């Protein structure tokens, strides 16, 4: 009997091993598994790589700010015309929406932002910004070139696509919620999901980082004017000092984080602007202060917004001042938290793991910066990931929004191939 039991368990073990060995670890089919590697080979071809580099450098030389991306949009449309890709323009003022595939469902979208930043480039190189006070310091020039690279790959393999890919060249990511206007224009009404990427100076080339769930924070901005009664600094009792009131406001705003928010629910309130008075012996009539507030959940964010408004008005009143609070919703709309869809996370892990190797797909921690990609995620499943740029020497690259920011162009083929692979496998699953 003991011998029979042993043989029975041995047989079951063998059957299980055979079954597991025959079952792929990825949820992708064998046909889908071949797509990422094939696309990366295409993206690394000298003619494809050099083409993307040329586009990226041309955009870098002519940076354009939010909703002013006219030349960038013109360049994109010219390249889409050469590729034989149809598109709509203008969308959200300067945006371009391209279409590849069957024209039928399923639909999936890929997004690249186009705008630059109002800052002077400090890097001296052949393709430095030719526009004083404007610079691509966040890598959007690279994002556009990689999405065009993905478009080239997908168009070349269009006959194999089992659905439709929507290319979203989006304006005004830098604080002006261009994504919101793209949605309002109805550009994504058929899309079942959307993918986006962002270059990352602190991740190595050939690696990517992301996570399921919350990736980035909800963000808002606030500006307040506190009004008192100006007068001579030597006789403050005849004045109502708005500087003192504003100082109390700033301290009280910090108490919202230290004494009202849950320590396990990260939130930030930062005052970055304080303007009042221009003489040493005069108490001014008013003071203007402003800053930003952030939270990882929408509920916490809205609660924080309410308390900021209450604290500014109440603390000003304590010092006999009046306060007006402006959350700048027209100029700088609130951004929801960036929350990656769980199913798309699994899809991303499968595709990126197959393309780069599972050990090259790293999980990153949430950060308090924001992304208007979150507006897409409020209406359809969305997934944003970070594309590594750090070179093999581990030379430290400057951070995003630095005047010394540079792009390692060796990352371009990986971004283009990942974009194309994520879309092609999504619509064939």
Judged by DSSP in three states, 6 sits in helix
Q: Residues 106-129, buried b or exposed e (16+ Cβ, 10 A)?
A: bbbbbbbbbbbbebebeeeeeeeb
Does residue 210 share a domain with residue 222?
A: no
The reply to whether 117 falls in a domain is yes
Report pLDDT digits (tens) over 367-395.
Answer: 999 999 999 999 999 999 999 999 877 67
Q: Which of 326, 345, 365 is the last residue of a domain?
A: 326
Average the pLDDT over each of 317-321, 341-345, 392-396 and give the range with the smallest value: 392-396
% of the chain with per-residue pLDDT over 90: 88
Which strand ranges, in their side-by-side order, compose the sheet holding 191-204?
86-91, 95-101, 164-170, 107-113, 191-204, 382-390, 208-210, 361-363
pLDDT value for 26: 57
The reply to whether 24 falls in a domain is no
The reply to whether 12 falls in a domain is no
The reply to whether 233 falls in a domain is yes
Residue 273 sits in a domain of what CATH number? 3.30.70.360
Does residue 347 share a domain with residue 317?
A: no
Does residue 398 share a domain with residue 315?
A: no
The reply to whether 385 falls in a domain is yes
**Strand ranges (E), 308-391:** 322-326, 338-340, 361-363, 382-390
Which strand ranges, in their side-by-side order, compose the sheet holding 286-295?
267-275, 286-295, 218-227, 322-326
pLDDT value for 29: 65
Q: How many domains does the chain have?
A: 2
Does residue 164 share a domain with residue 301?
A: no
Q: Which of 272, 301, 326 is the last residue of a domain?
A: 326
* Cα 286 to Cα 113: distance, rounded to the nearest angstrom: 39
Does residue 370 share a domain with residue 285?
A: no
Does residue 152 share a domain with residue 108?
A: yes
Does residue 155 share a domain with residue 54?
A: yes
Residue 164 sits in a domain of what CATH number? 3.40.630.10
Does residue 136 share a domain with residue 81?
A: yes
Does residue 345 share a domain with residue 208?
A: yes
The reply to whether 393 falls in a domain is yes
- Residue 317's domain comprises 218-326
pTM of the predicted model as reported, rounded to 2 decimal places: 0.90
Report pLDDT digits (tens) over 158-176.
Answer: 999 999 999 999 999 998 9
The reply to whether 4 falls in a domain is no
**Strand ranges (E), 164-266:** 164-170, 191-204, 208-210, 213-216, 218-227, 231-232
Report pLDDT digits (tens) over 89-118.
Answer: 999 999 999 999 999 999 999 999 999 999
The reply to whether 5 falls in a domain is no
* Cα 341 to Cα 377: distance, rounded to the nearest angstrom: 8
Report pLDDT digits (tens) over 218-254.
Answer: 999 999 999 999 999 999 999 999 999 999 999 999 9
């Amino acid at each position: 009997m003991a011998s029979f039991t042993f043989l029975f368990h041995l047989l079951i073990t063998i059957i299980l091993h055979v079954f597991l060995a025959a079952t792929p670890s990825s949820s992708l089919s064998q046909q889908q598994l071949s797509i990422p590697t094939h696309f990366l080979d295409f993206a690394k071809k000298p003619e494809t790589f050099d083409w993307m580099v040329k586009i990226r450098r041309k955009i870098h030389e002519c940076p354009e700010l939010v909703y002013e991306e006219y030349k960038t949009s013109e360049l994109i449309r010219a390249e889409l015309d050469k590729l034989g890709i149809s598109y709509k323009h203008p969308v959200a003022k300067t945006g371009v929406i391209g279409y590849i595939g069957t024209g039928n469902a399923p639909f999936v979208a890929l997004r690249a932002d186009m705008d630059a930043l109002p800052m002077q480039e400090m890097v001296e190189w052949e393709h430095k910004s030719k526009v004083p006070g404007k610079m691509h310091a966040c890598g959007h020039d690279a994002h556009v070139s990689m999405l065009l690279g993905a478009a080239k790959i997908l168009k070349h393999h269009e006959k194999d696509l089992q659905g439709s890919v929507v290319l979203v060249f989006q304006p005004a990511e830098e604080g002006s919620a261009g994504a919101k206007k793209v949605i309002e224009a109805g550009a994504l009404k058929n899309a079942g999901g959307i993918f986006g990427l962002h270059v990352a100076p602190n991740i190595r080339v050939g690696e990517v980082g992301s996570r399921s769930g919350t990736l980035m924070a909800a963000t808002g901005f606030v500006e307040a004017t506190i009004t008192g009664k100006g007068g001579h600094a030597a006789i403050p009792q005849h004045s109502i000092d708005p500087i003192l009131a504003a100082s109390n406001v700033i301290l009280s705003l910090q108490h919202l984080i230290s004494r009202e928010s849950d320590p396990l629910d990260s939130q930030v309130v930062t005052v970055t602007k304080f303007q009042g008075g221009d003489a040493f012996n005069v108490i001014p009539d008013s003071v203007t202060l402003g800053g930003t507030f952030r939270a990882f959940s929408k509920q916490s964010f809205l609660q924080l917004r309410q308390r900021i408004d209450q604290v500014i008005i109440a603390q000003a009143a304590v010092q006999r001042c009046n306060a007006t609070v402006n959350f700048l919703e027209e100029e700088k709309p609130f951004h929801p938290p960036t929350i990656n869809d769980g199913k798309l996370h699994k899809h991303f892990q499968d595709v990126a793991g197959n393309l780069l190797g599972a050990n090259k797909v790293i999980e990153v921690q949430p950060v308090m910066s924001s992304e208007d990609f979150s507006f897409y995620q409020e209406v359809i499943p969305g997934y944003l990931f970070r594309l590594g740029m750090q070179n093999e020497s581990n030379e430290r690259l400057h951070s995003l929004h630095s005047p010394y920011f540079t792009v390692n162009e060796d990352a371009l083929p990986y971004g283009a191939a990942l974009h194309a692979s994520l879309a092609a496998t999504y619509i064939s699953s």
